[in-house]
Amino acid sequence: MADTSTVARAVDRLFRIAEGDELRSLTGLAEALARYRGRPLVIHEGPDLPDRIFGQWVRHPDYDEVKYGRWVHARERTIAHELGHIVLGHVGKPAIELAREVLPPERHDLAALMLQRDCDDTKSPEEADAEAFGNLLLHRLNGGSRINRSPGLRSRLDEAFG
């Protein structure tokens, strides 16, 4: 697991690249990330996600996709977590895509279960970092910092003062 300062710097970086109204919502921050990376980012309900899979980031050749389960109640939290994977430079989960390509449809749920990474699993530092990123991102976005009105200003001040 990365230290908390690495995760905090990643959150700061996202707020620094956002402009204007993008700083006010998770959707705006996702748009800023897409613009910065030069790749479209599509966020939507993933009806194909099996039970117990909250969300998933899929890296396509020409765009990124963040899916969340239709049953997920904390949609923003799931999206923020998946954005964390992107901002932190994680590799993603291409194994599930390969499994779906080569296995018959009746085995897809079993493959997804076997390839699942649990956020509480201490053996998965990427998941722990993405969870920490999502928590901090939403905390700042929802006014949890001392500079409540401008998380972007908070990020710039943090950068200036170390």
Q: Which pLDDT tens digit goes with each residue over 26-63? A: 999 999 999 999 999 999 998 878 777 899 998 888 99
> So what's the pLDDT on residue 87?
96
Is the per-residue pLDDT at 2 higher than 80? no
- Using CB atoms within 10 A of its CB, is residue 62 exposed (0-12), middle (13-18) or buried (19+)? exposed
> So what's the pLDDT on residue 154?
54
Pull the structure tokens for residue 138. Answer: 């939403």
Q: How far apart are CA 79 and CA 122, in angstroms?
A: 21
Whole-prediction pTM = 0.73
Torsion of CA 94, 64, 87, 54, to 10 degrees: -70
Model confidence at 121, pLDDT cuts 50, 70, 90, reads very low
Is the per-residue pLDDT at 93 higher than 70? no
pLDDT mean over 70-76: 91
